[in-house]
Each structure stands twice: as C-alpha cells, then as structure tokens.
Structure 1
C-alpha cells in the first residue's frame, strides 16, 4: 500500500551524487522553487512587454494574475515531474481531471455553504442586499482557479507529497499545514489566530484529502470552490481580501465567531466543520492502512 501511495522513488541505479543533489526530497523542493522563481521572472518580463502594470484594465489584470498564480507553478511542477522524477503525472491524470475536480468543487460548495448556514443560524451572518453585477469572472480566475491551482500545487503537490516520501505522512501533514497557515500571515486583517485557523481547517483538510485521493484535481476543486463561494456567492472577505459578491452581507458578533476582517475562515465554525471532515478522512486512511511511515522504516 505504501509503495502505491508514493509517487516517486529514487532509481536504484542512480549514482550517489544524484541521490543527494537531484532525487532527495530537499533537492526536489529546491529545484521546484528555482524553476518557479525563474518562470515567475519570465512571466513578469512578458507582462512588462505587454504594458500590463499599474492602471491595467481589470480583465487583463485578472489574466496576468491567473498566469502568475496558476500557470507558473503548474509549469514548474511539470518540469519537476517530467524533467527530474520522470514519471506519469498520476495526480493530475487527464482522464480523472474533470470528475475529480468537479467532485472537489461540489465538496467545497457544500462545505462552505454549511459554514454560512451555521453562522446564519447563530445570528452572525445576515444578507442585506444583492449585487448581480459582481465581477465574478475576475474572481473566478484569480481567487478561485488561480489560488486553487497554484497553492495546491505548491502546498500539496510539492511540499506534502515530497515530504511524505521522506518523513512519512504525519510529518508531511504537519509541515504542509504549517506552511499553508504561514503563507497567509501577511494577508489583510491576518492575525496569529487566523493563520492558525487556516493551518488547521484548510492545511490539514487539504493534506488529508490529497492523501486519501492522491488527486491534486480534487484539492484544487475544493480550494477554488471554497474561495469562490466565500467571496462571490456569499459576499464574505476571502483571507482578508475584499469581497465583491452576488450577496451583500454583514457578519456580527465576536471575531472568534464571525471571523472578523479576515473572513469566515477565521471563524471557529469553519474550524470545527473542516476539522470534522479531516477526522473523517483520517478514519478512511487508517482503515485503508495508507499512512506512509518515514523512509527509514520502510
């Protein structure tokens, strides 16, 4: 079971220097980071040639952000998988991409709707109007697909997957969740509590979802749908960013309940509901016996 879960193993015939400088978990993470930075610089140069900068119209700016957030990390990941690991891209297999992605989208919509419904029942969330002219296409490209694709490639495709190959599932889950929470610490309205909440509710949930399904598409769908539902459907700030939603809403009560300026992701309601889903996935993993031990115990 462990061999099936691990996407890459070092070739037995690889010389010692390749084992350390090319195929080791740390080396592959560094190689991905280098390609990511290089491709990002190339993309920024392309935007400069196109004259896309401050004052760029919203549609072109959304496209530029989608390229930077989603396509750059995707290209770096493909270089890693095909150029270094030299294996099939099973976690983004074309024949499973659409069904697994749509399953993740449905899960994300239902999960965040459950968060909003609970906040409404507790008297924290209230709809005050509607905005049919909300810029949903831009939000879908940037906050939905852009964040969903790019952040899942980095946090789950690179950090969780590669750390799991070396240190095992538990350390991979912890390290990727801490990274994911820390990556949101500089967002508007962020606090230590909001970053901890992101690490626990999203970092652990997405990590366990990837572990159980071995599908980046499912994680991307969940992530994109969660963000899109939060900002564009329910009009709640997404990780501190202002929302332009179809529903105009307000949240009241203490920050631990409403999430405050950061959004409902910093609410104890989201924390509890996501944690319950994480526990459910953990039960599935334990029953399957899919938890990967560290490499020195395999």
Structure 2
C-alpha cells in the first residue's frame, strides 16, 4: 500500500476526516457551488450554450474539490470517481434512466392520457442539457458521494440508504410546486434506486448517468414537469390529461404510481444484486467489535 495512505493521521487530520466534519467541509462547498450553478443557469436561460458552459464548469470545479478533499484530507483513493470503466457505467445509467422514463410515458399513451400533438424544432432539446448536467453531477456528489458515504461510515449501508433517500426526497419540497406526496415518492423510488446504484457499483457513474437521463428525457424530449419545477417545452408537444395518481399532476411523473412502480422495482433489483455481491457495509460497531 502507498505510504501516504498508510501513515497514522494526526489529530487535526482525523477530525477533518470524520464523517460529521466531511458533511460540512466537503458537502457545504459542493452545495454552494450547486446553488451558484442553478442561479447562473437561470440568469443565462436565454442563452442555452452559456448556461451549459456554466453548469459544466461549476460541476467540474465541484468534482475537482471532491477529489482533492478525498485525496489530500481523507488520504484515500477516490474509487467512487475512478475513470476505469466510468464510461460504461455512465452510459448504462443513461440507458436505464431514459428507458424507465420512456416506459412510463408509453404506459400513459396506452391509457390515452399522454397525447402527442406535434414536434418542436430540434433546438428545443438543447436548454435541458444544463439542468440535467447540473442535477446529475451535483446531487449525486452531495447525496450519494457525501451524505450516503458519511452516514454509512458510522451506521452502515441500510441506515445510510434510509437517511439519504429521505433527505433526497424532502429537499424537493423546496421546488416551486413541491408536494409532500411527491417528496415521499422521490424518497422511495429515486432515493432507493440511486443509492442502490451506488451500492451495487460502489461508484457514482451509474447514478449520475441515470439522474441525468431521467431529468433530460423528462424535460427535453417529453416536455414533462421535473420534480415540481415549471415545465419547459421540449421536442414533443404533448397534452397530458388524467388522474394525478397516474400522471403525477403538478409535481410531474415522479409523483405517479407508474414511475413509483417501475423505478422502485428497478432499485430493488439492484439492491438485491448488491447484497448478493457482498457490497453491504455493516455498522461501525460491528466492524470493530
């Protein structure tokens, strides 16, 4: 093993490496960068390419900060962001995310609740790139890279799964049309799925890909409402009419039984695979007992 990682850390470094300190000193700056990204994306809303550049730039800074903290403060290899196999896992996440959302829409079409009225120019798919990039990178760094790992270090995988999923869902209450039901749905369907993706691979690329593709497909392709935010026109001009239980109402398709069933089932499958592959971390007291 590299001597830099094996050396006994000093007291101040042990404090900086502790889960509670990491939540603040690592999660805090990444959160601030996410807020800055969202603010600047809104400012450059009329100039999509600038908005994409801002989102990409700040996401790169946040990732570099995360990697730097892990290597120089925590003194560990950053396996969760290793580039080996990253493209394959990210692409798999893209396919799963886009496929799941498309399947939800196909079910609505079969029920006659989603009607395609025409197509907008292809350029309508560009603006959502910034949103998908920002949400996919920042939220996965914060909720799976920081929060999940910090809680898991002490309480193990199962409690970390519950905590990170609950927090992930509840923060969506801050969205313009956020609802408690929508937050609960996201906690279970997305919180479980995204955490399971991390647990299965012990890397962030699969969850980043899924997160980006779901949000992008929802907005840029099907012109859907993303987690209670104001809807933006995408490639497909659509008309959605039906009970909120199936369409998600003002919160978007995430708050529907259809998305709940498909995403939760996918998350459970990945969770089972993670258990079978021995990817579950026990609580600290069982590791040291």
TM superposition score category, shorter chain reference: 0.7 to 0.9
Whole-Å separation in 1 of the counterparts to 2:236 and 2:18: 48
SS at 1:184 equivalent: helix
1:13: which partner in 2?
A: 8
Contact kept? 2:245, 2:257, Cα under 8 Å: yes
Task: Establish whether residue 181 from structure 1 lines up as the match of residue 169 from structure 2.
Answer: yes
Q: Which residue of 1 aligns with 2:193?
A: 205
- Per the alignment, residue 136 of structure 1 pairs with 125
Deviates more, 1:125-134 or 1:259-268: 125-134
**For the residues of structure 2 that align with 1:149 and 1:42, how far apart are their CA atoms?**
14
Q: Is the 8 A contact 2:199 2:271 kept in 1?
A: no
SS in 1 for 2:26: helix
Q: Is the 8 A contact 1:131 1:248 kept in 2?
A: yes
CA distance in 2, matches of 1:100, 1:42: 28
Cα drift, residue 265 of structure 1: 1.0
- Which residue of structure 2 lines up, in the alignment, with residue 3 of structure 1? none
Decide whether aligned partners of structure 1 residues 102 and 183 sit closer, same or farther in structure 2, where only a CA change above 3 A counts. same
Where in structure 2 are the equivalents of 1:87-166 lying within 5 Å? 87-140=76-129, 142-166=130-154
Partner of 1:85: 74
Corresponding residue SS for 2:215: helix
The alpha-carbon distance between structure 1 residues 98 and 289, as it changes in their structure 2 partners (threshold 3 A), is: closer
Return the match for 1:248 from 237, 253, 268: 237
Is residue 17 of structure 2 the alignment partner of residue 27 of structure 1? no
d(CA) in 2 for partners of 1:226, 1:85 = 32
Q: TM-score, normalised by structure 1?
A: 0.85
User: Which residue matches 2:250?
Assistant: 261
Shift in Å, 1:38: 6.8
Moved more, 127-136 or 232-241: 127-136
Q: Distance in 2 between matches of 1:157 and 1:191?
A: 26
**Contact 2:37-2:55 within 8 A present in 1 as well:** no
**Cα shift readout 1:30-57 (whole Å, capped 9, x = no counterpart):** 111343367679989xx8xxxx957874
Three-state SS of the structure 2 residue aligned to 1:29 is helix
TM-score (norm 2): 0.88
SS at match of 2:273: helix
Query: 2:223 aligns to what?
Result: 235
SS in 1 for 2:265: helix
CA distance in 1, matches of 2:108, 2:258: 7
Matching residue of 1:59: 49
Identify which range, 77-86 or 273-282, moves more after superposition: 77-86
Q: Deviations over 1:151-174 (max 9, x none)?
A: 111111111122112110011101
Unaligned runs of 5+ in 1: 1-9
Q: Per-residue deviation at 1:93?
A: 1.4
Query: How well do the aligned residues superpose, as a CA RMSD in angstroms?
Result: 2.5
Residues 37 and 184 (structure 1 numbering): CA distance in 2 closer, same or farther, change over 3 Å? closer
